[in-house]
Amino acid sequence: MPKTIMTVDDSASVRQMVAYTLREAGYDVVEACDGVDALAKIDSATYNLVITDLNMPRMDGITLIKELRIKPKIRFTPILMLTTESQSEKKMEGKSAGATGWIVKPFKPEQLVTVVKKVIG
């Protein structure tokens, strides 16, 4: 059974790029456009990984990570955050909120797949 990944990003282009790349790599992908949307969709399936952007309207990535970590179902699920080079302090903040790791934007599709493979195989 293919693994299921949720990608959360307010930028449609980034989200689609992520979704496309991961589907090509053989994963199932569910898209959400911000933290609130992600929380609404999170119970609908069993996810193996969540990839979230940090800067988003309504609910930002850090808050989302904290929210997800208190859900028993998601408590131990890997969460990757998308950061830019200039957001390193966010990287740390995200880590202490419970993120598993990070992917630095801009990234190439194969880099994304490498990191995802690293985390969930």
Interface with another protein (CB under 8 A): 69, 75-79, 85-86, 88-89, 91-93, 95-96, 98-102, 118-121
| Shortest Å distance, C-beta 67 to another protein | 14
- Among residues 19 and 49, whose Cβ is nearest to another protein? 49
Of 13, 49, 103, nearest in space to 94 by CA:
103
**Residue 52 burial by CB count (10 A; 0-12/13-18/19+): exposed, middle or buried?**
buried
| Shortest Å distance, C-beta 115 to another protein | 9
| Shortest Å distance, C-beta 78 to another protein | 4
**Residue 98 burial by CB count (10 A; 0-12/13-18/19+): exposed, middle or buried?**
middle
